Amino acid sequence: MAVLSDRDIRKAVKEGRLKISDLIPENISVASVDLRLGSDFRVFRHTEVTHVDTREGLKDEFTELIKVPEGKPFTVHPGEFVLGSTIESVCLPADLTARLDGKSSLGRLGLVIHSTAGSVDPGFEGVLVLEIANISKVPVKLWPGMGICRLTFEELTSPSENPYNKRKSSKFLAQKGPCLGK
């Protein structure tokens, strides 16, 4: 597999092979695309939930959707875990995979932008849900619209036989915000 350069990313976008909605051309970097933070966050109702059973999964009533008004920040407190999402929606072809990484400037503040799910499968379509955790000792303000992460793209040696958008078990396909899954 080879990582796409800025030239290859621009070409894939221009040809329509790689789709990124609301893409700002200046956000294409040397070998990645910077993505921006949306204004919706899903927070856990930790005072009302005694536990999460991994066999049952997360239930909607375990979380609350917060919509941040324009021009206002969202504060992530120490030890807090929230779900956020990107403004941009991506659509990967069957022969590209992507890797999501948090921005270094946020990591240096103690923010983890994706706890475990950094891979984006070939055929994925939708916004990217971010698993945001504050491991520092101080609250951190996040501003909707700010740069939050980047995507690096890798070309597969051949197209996937069963890309994400063709699988019946794809529970995060076409997600539009910080959702828990289908």
Residues belonging to the active site:
131
- What one-letter code names the amino acid at 146? M
Q: What are phi and psi of 81, to 5 degrees?
A: -125, 125
* 50-58 long-range Cβ contacts below 8 angstroms, 24+ apart: 57/180, 57/181, 58/180, 58/181
Residues 129, 180: Cα–Cα separation, whole Å: 9
Helix, strand or coil, per DSSP, at residue 60: helix
**In a 10 Å sphere around its CB, with 0-12 CB exposed, 13-18 middle and 19+ buried, how is residue 109 labelled?**
middle
